[in-house]
Amino acid sequence: GAGVSQSPRYKVTKRGQDVALRCDPISGHVSLYWYRQALGQGPEFLTYFNYEAQQDKSGLPNDRFSAERPEGSISTLTIQRTEQRDSAMYRCASSLASRSNTGELFFGEGSRLTVL
Amino acid sequence: SQKIEQNSEALNIQEGKTATLTCNYTNYSPAYLQWYRQDPGRGPVFLLLIRENEKEKRKERLKVTFDTTLKQSLFHITASQPADSATYLCASHTGGFKTIFGAGTRLFVKA
């Protein structure tokens, strides 16, 4: 596609439910990042994929959070047993080159998660 | 831990003046720094990249400097316009796989 596409744009869920957030990166982009952004803050790194390999998941807050990118393209961020503190904007970004790059990140419009 | 710090206070300037935003990094030596613009409700958009061996980089009305001694980057917008009002984010690769961001500085340009 023309840009990074994320869905759903808005998700309201009840505490304890699982949610899955999807990211479709720009075609051909090797690198894919997930970030979480609180209001008035910069994006906070969650995890990074190079093709289908998850090469850094150090930013995932706890084991309720997981991500996958099985075919090196679309990625899913899953949050199990959601809690109110998980409410945030979740942003996906992709980049053309891989680890050693200085490439710019292209961000999607984000998925706004609200946990009631 | 590796950190990027930006002035969290909003910057208010008059149209036509030069806006200067500051980015400081601690506990690492980035090979480059990036600057992004973020409008309310939108994702960040890349503006400029400057490498550690470049002292200055320009793009139209934008200028970025990189001082490895001070561990600081300055971002300048000359002849500022109300349309430049946005949040500006500083970012850097940490040497691993992460690109980390500062909290951003909100810029308001008054007509």
Q: What Å distances lie between residue B37 and A63, A84, B33, B41, B111, CA to CA?
A: 32, 29, 14, 12, 20
For B18-94, where are the E strands, in sequence order?
19-26, 32-38, 45-51, 56-59, 62-67, 72-77, 86-93
pLDDT for the residue B93:
81
In this structure, what token pair is assigned to residue A108? Answer: 């999607």
Tens-place pLDDT, residues B81-99: 999 999 999 999 876 678 8
The yes-or-no verdict on residue A102 having pLDDT over 70 is no
pLDDT for the residue A44:
96
Tell me which chain B residues have a C-beta less than 8 angstroms from the C-beta of A88. none
Stretch A28-54: mean pLDDT: 94
pLDDT for the residue A45:
94
What percent of chain B clears pLDDT 90, i.e. is strictly above it? 77
Long-range contacts of range B73-78, CB-CB < 8 Å, 24 or more positions apart? B73/B22, B73/B23, B73/B25, B73/B33, B73/B35, B74/B20, B74/B21, B74/B22, B74/B23, B75/B20, B75/B21, B75/B22, B75/B23, B75/B35, B75/B48, B76/B18, B76/B19, B76/B20, B76/B21, B77/B18, B77/B19, B77/B107, B78/B18
The alpha-carbon gap from A57 to the nearest alpha carbon of chain B, in Å, equals 10
Stretch A54-81: mean pLDDT: 96
Stretch A41-65: mean pLDDT: 95
Nearest to B103 among A42, A102, A107 (CB): A42
Tell me the pLDDT band of A96, cut-offs 50, 70 and 90. Answer: confident
DSSP A9-78: SEEEE-TT--EEEEEE--TT--EEEEEEE-TTS--EEEEEEETTEEEE-TT--STTEEEE-TTSS-EEEE
The yes-or-no verdict on residue B32 having pLDDT over 80 is yes
The yes-or-no verdict on residue A66 having pLDDT over 90 is yes
Chain B interface includes A73 (CB < 8 A)? no
Chain B interface includes A68 (CB < 8 A)? no
Query: CB pairs below 8 Å between A and B: how many?
Result: 57
Closest of A113, A34, A100 to residue A67, by C-alpha: A34
The alpha-carbon gap from B12 to the nearest alpha carbon of chain A, in Å, equals 17
pLDDT for the residue B97:
72
